[in-house]
């Protein structure tokens, strides 16, 4: 697979975030405030400062948040339009959970209070849809071209799996998401095997 095709395929996985509304459960009993340790762990993953094993450990620990509808370790379930397994229509990888931070943090130079965990990525969500275009330049991401929506990706690590026949990929990503009621930007880290 050539790098441009790989870039497009991996970005499509992140775009799957757009198919799930970013709405938390309204029941206060189902929400939890993350601890400083949980926030620090999540931010390390968002910034691609952890390995794929650390990401898989978190994703595995959160696998039942979507099905149970219960908050866990600071993460909240996100509705996925009737798809209980977190797989939105169209078969794209869905969102597992969202972490609402008690105070804004700076991620890639921009403030946010939301982190989103999917089966292949962990990203910060920004209310400003223009952040994706800016970060594509400042993070030196490979963009999709002038006519395509803002966003891009840069592979930071690519190596054969230790136990398997795939290629482990860790990449910085940014994308503009056309969500309802208004567009947002997401940026973070993709942890996957191809």
- Identify the bridge partners of residue 139 per DSSP, sorted by sequence position: none
Domain boundaries, the chain: 3-193
Cβ-based burial of 183 (10 A; exposed 0-12, middle 13-18, buried ≥19): middle
Query: What's the CA gap between 96 and 119, in Å, rounded?
Result: 7
Q: What whole-number distance in Å separates Cα of residue 137 and Cα of residue 68?
A: 39
* Cα end-to-end span (Å), the chain: 10
**Gap between the Cα atoms of 171 and 104, Å rounded:** 24
- Paired tokens of 130: 């223009």
What is the pLDDT, as a whole number, of residue 105?
96
State how beta strands 110-118 and 167-177 pair.
unpaired
Mean pLDDT by 10 residues, the chain (194 residues): 46 41 42 86 95 89 77 77 42 70 95 92 93 91 76 90 83 87 90 86
* Widest distance between CA atoms in the chain: 48
Q: Mind listing the pLDDT tens digit for each residue in 148-182?
A: 777 889 999 988 887 777 888 999 999 988 876 78
């Amino acid at each position: 697979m050539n790098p441009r095709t790989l870039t497009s395929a991996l970005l499509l996985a992140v775009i799957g975030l757009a198919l799930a509304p970013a709405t938390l459960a309204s029941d206060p009993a189902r929400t939890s405030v993350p601890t400083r340790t949980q926030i620090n762990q999540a931010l390390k993953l968002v910034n691609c400062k952890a390995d794929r094993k650390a990401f898989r450990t978190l994703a595995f620990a959160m696998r039942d948040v979507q099905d149970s509808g219960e908050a866990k370790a600071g993460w909240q379930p996100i509705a996925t339009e009737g798809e209980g397994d977190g797989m939105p229509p169209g078969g794209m990888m869905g969102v597992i959970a969202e972490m609402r931070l008690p105070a804004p943090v700076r991620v890639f130079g921009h403030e946010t209070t939301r982190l989103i965990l999917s089966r292949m990525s962990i990203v910060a969500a920004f209310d400003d849809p223009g952040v994706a275009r800016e970060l594509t330049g400042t993070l030196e991401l490979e963009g999709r071209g002038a006519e395509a929506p803002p966003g891009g990706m840069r592979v930071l690590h690519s190596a054969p799996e230790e136990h398997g026949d795939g290629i482990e990929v860790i990449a910085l990503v940014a994308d503009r998401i056309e969500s309802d009621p208004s567009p947002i930007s997401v940026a973070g880290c993709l942890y996957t095997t191809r």
